[in-house]
Structure 1
């Protein structure tokens, strides 16, 4: 999208400077980076940042009693800046906990269970991830969808289009540039819900796509983990988490399974 016009570049720059926060008592303000292009998890509603992650973080930081702000930096910038741990001390942006990322980051305890899904147009012959081998597929770069499809299609496969964000990946499907998009279940379901006239189909493939869990991203050795983990556990256990989950997804979460993760 950055390549399409100067106007969009300017808009992206403005959004990257947009921040939301909550005033809590005590301590230095913690700066969280995010990629607010991931509805319904985190996204911009006009000039306001909103979404499940944003509401969840507000409750966590309230329990922890810490001042904070969230800045829309974009995905790649978030990953780089949180690893450095200078300007941003944490990242919250539907970040899956993976063994590869654990080599470069620490995480909070898991707070959300997700799984990747395949999004196609009605009438598509695609029924599973293995059907994507010889198709054109769009994913957001440096996500678990990228990792999964790189294994299935090949790391250097030119038919695997790695986009800067899921909005561009979905646009590529709309325009006929790809046969499918692979993204997190929340993203896929939200897009179908908001675009009923586009006649889209979501395909689950538990054989090839395992469940994954999101955590708050932290620099290696971060002291924030000791403060965030108990607060996250409290928000999940005291019923606040279920209230937020029902608000954004219309159903009850499996908090038992979530709390069983380490």
Structure 2
């Protein structure tokens, strides 16, 4: 092999490697600094936090909040409907850069992801048929409970009646859980107050009532990113600070929750 041929071969190999790197950067999400935008996951079956309008666009409190944060932080985002039971894996595997989907900050979740400062305070509520005699969460020990899979309501139900109990009925979305309650397949549904009050208020014909058990602790929602990305987390926290300071967050809250009594 001549020196001239060897040099040409090395040069060609280098150019191919550079081209491959360039292609990877062009197609990367913004978790990679070379990417054009951050891909955000949100579950669109969780009104009023996130749902699809008639044009199949994502709308809701979480959506408006994330867009406002991104604007203040100076980052580009693309929000994609992602079922809740697949959210965390999507983040860990790199299919999503950011998650905003009524995600309660807790120690278990902190082990696999990093959270922003809280942006919403929530608590669990119980939804029941109007004629139900149940008055507290403890009363559900001998009943069938509907929850959205993987949520803090799911965790609470497991603690109450057992992790492997068949009486904990898990659903892909809250609307499916409410549908099962209406049909008598479960005796109660437990879920976050914002979602519960929104559903009951907008479905008066279903004849549901709400029980607010004081034993449920406050929960704080956070925006999640993959561990090891402090720069992105800092940008999100900066955006949150800005929308709190200039009144944007309050305006978004009033848009979706001004009439809530819970």
The two structures have a TM-score, normalised by structure 1, of 0.83
SS of match in other structure, 2:142: coil
- Hey, what's the Cα distance between the residues in 1 that align with 2:233 and 2:201? 35
Alignment map for 1:1-262 (pairs within 5 Å): 28-46=36-54, 47-84=56-93, 86-207=94-215, 209-222=216-229, 223-250=231-258
Please list the CA deviations of residues 74-102 of structure 1 after superposition, one character each: whole Å capped at 9, or x if unmatched: 11221101122x22111111111011100
- Unpaired runs of 5+ residues, structure 2, are 1-33
SS of match in other structure, 1:125: coil
Q: In 2, are the aligned partners of 1:30 and 1:67 still within 8 Å (CA)?
A: yes
Residue 119 of structure 1, CA deviation: 0.2
Residue 251 of structure 1, CA deviation: 5.8
- Hey, what's the Cα distance between the residues in 2 that align with 1:81 and 1:48? 21
The two structures have a TM-score, normalised by structure 2, of 0.83
Larger radius of gyration: 2
Q: In 2, are the aligned partners of 1:115 and 1:211 still within 8 Å (CA)?
A: yes
Runs of 4+ residues over 6 Å off in structure 1 = none
Residue 27 of structure 1, CA deviation: 7.0
- Unpaired runs of 5+ residues, structure 1, are 1-25, 253-262
Q: In 2, are the aligned partners of 1:27 and 1:67 still within 8 Å (CA)?
A: no
SS of match in other structure, 1:193: helix
CA RMSD, Structure 1 to Structure 2 (Å): 1.4
- Hey, what's the Cα distance between the residues in 2 that align with 1:217 and 1:228? 10
| Higher helix fraction (1 or 2) | 2
SS of match in other structure, 2:254: helix
SS of match in other structure, 1:70: strand
| Total equivalences in the alignment | 225
Q: In 2, are the aligned partners of 1:114 and 1:186 still within 8 Å (CA)?
A: yes
SS of match in other structure, 1:133: helix
